[in-house]
Amino acid sequence: MPTEKARDIRLLVLDVDGVLTDGGLYYDADGRIMKRFHVQDGLGIKLAQRMGLEVAVITGLDHAAVASRVRELGIAEYHAGHVEKRSLIMDMATRKSLELSQIAYLGDDWVDATAMRVVGLPMAVSNAQPEILALAAWVSSRSGGYGAAREAIAFILDAQGKYAECWRAWSD
């Protein structure tokens, strides 16, 4: 059933803390927070974009490191400081003329529940909270911040028959 849902996905929405990062808060000697991102997720996002799968980011926190990473990856739909994510997803669907069934969401914690309830393909990282795992139609084998987004992208592209093409283009 998740594979069937993935065939129609045109937009993948990602949470940040606990999905694109490991959820840890790293502080430097001056008390500034640093974020850690996995390069495999970054390449996965670039591959998704190349294959016509749009990627958006919604995060409850507003952090300069996240904004920088999102810019670096060329993600146009970046929404920081939003704890209530459902309305943003519904707005994106309207603006992009998408059905909610064409949207996937990858989350890890309670703040993601309302978003996961409205999209066509709710996805969770393997170390998500139990309630989030229960909402998910698909669960990664990897933890958040360790390539889970790349795994989700590969799953969607494979269901759409694009993953092998992507690999051939990269490896030839």
| Assigned domain for 172 exists | no
Q: Please tell me the predicted confidence (pLDDT) of residue 34.
A: 87
| Assigned domain for 72 exists | yes
* CATH code of the domain in which 94 resides: 3.40.50.1000
Residues β-bridged to residue 14: 57, 106
Contact 147, 38 (CB under 8 A): yes
Average pLDDT over residues 9-25: 95
Contact 15, 112 (CB under 8 A): yes
Q: Please tell me the predicted confidence (pLDDT) of residue 46.
A: 96
| Assigned domain for 108 exists | yes
Residues that constitute the known binding site for substrate: 17
Q: Is 90 exceeded by the pLDDT of residue 109?
A: yes
Residue-range definition of the domain harbouring residue 163: 2-167
Residues that constitute the known binding site for Mg(2+): 15, 108
Task: Say how far apart CA 111 and CA 114 lie, in whole Å.
Answer: 7
- Share of residues in the chain with pLDDT > 70 (%): 100
| Assigned domain for 27 exists | yes
| Assigned domain for 71 exists | yes
- Share of residues in the chain with pLDDT > 90 (%): 83
Task: Say how far apart CA 140 and CA 87 lie, in whole Å.
Answer: 25
Q: Provide the sign of the torsion angle of the four alpha carbons 125, 126, 131, 135, taken in this order.
A: positive
Contact 124, 106 (CB under 8 A): yes
Domain count, the chain: 1
Task: Say how far apart CA 91 and CA 150 lie, in whole Å.
Answer: 25
Residues that constitute the known binding site: 15, 17, 108
